[in-house]
């Protein structure tokens, strides 16, 4: 390796279904991934699997497989709202009393971006 070169190493482990199960970096930090029975991402944790692991993301889905609730860091909760066509129209961040904000749309009706106001 050349002097001053940066070497980054990561290890990716997959479950029998081919889904990412664990990501480990060169310092031994681990991110663990769990899935629903429908192959949707259920939660992401960091640390060794077991009682000491820390939840990073937890998701809930509706019957169509759309994310309806996402808990980030075990504290902040984001709730997602969809219209009759299944397009994301609003989101609410809690805690803090933040009100839903309509999402700007492209000409085809896809969500472009959103800003949380509170």
- Joined together, the tokens standing for residue 117 give 């106001």
| Residue-level pLDDT at 30 | 92
Q: Domain count for the chain, please give it.
A: 1
Of 5-14, 19-28, 85-94, 107-116, give the lowest mean pLDDT range.
Answer: 107-116
CA neighbor of 115 nearest in space, from 90, 94, 95:
90
Is 31 within a domain? yes
Is 82 within a domain? no
- Residue 3 makes CB contacts below 8 A (sequence gap 6+) with none
Tell me which residue range forms the domain holding 36: 10-55
Could you report the per-residue pLDDT of 14-72, keeping only the tens digit for each?
A: 999 999 999 998 888 899 999 999 999 999 999 877 777 788 899 999 999 999 998 88
CA neighbor of 77 nearest in space, from 68, 89, 86:
68
Is 71 within a domain? no
The rounded distance, in Å, linking the Cα atoms of 71 and 43 is: 9
Q: Which residues pair with 80 in a beta bridge?
A: 91
Is 30 within a domain? yes
Is 67 within a domain? no
**Per-state percent for the chain, helix, strand, coil, to nearest 5:** 0, 45, 55
């Amino acid at each position: 390796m050349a002097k001053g070169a940066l070497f980054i190493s990561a290890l990716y482990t997959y479950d029998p279904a081919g889904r990412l199960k664990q990501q480990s970096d060169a310092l031994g930090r681990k991110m663990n991934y769990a899935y629903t029975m429908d192959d949707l991402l259920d939660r992401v944790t960091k640390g060794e699997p077991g009682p000491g692991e820390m939840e990073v993301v937890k998701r809930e889905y509706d019957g169509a497989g759309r994310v309806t609730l996402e808990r980030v860091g075990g504290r902040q909760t984001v709730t997602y709202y969809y219209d009759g066509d299944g397009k994301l129209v609003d989101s609410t961040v809690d805690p803090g009393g933040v009100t839903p904000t309509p999402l700007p749309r492209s000409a085809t009706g896809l969500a472009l971006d959103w800003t949380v106001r509170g």
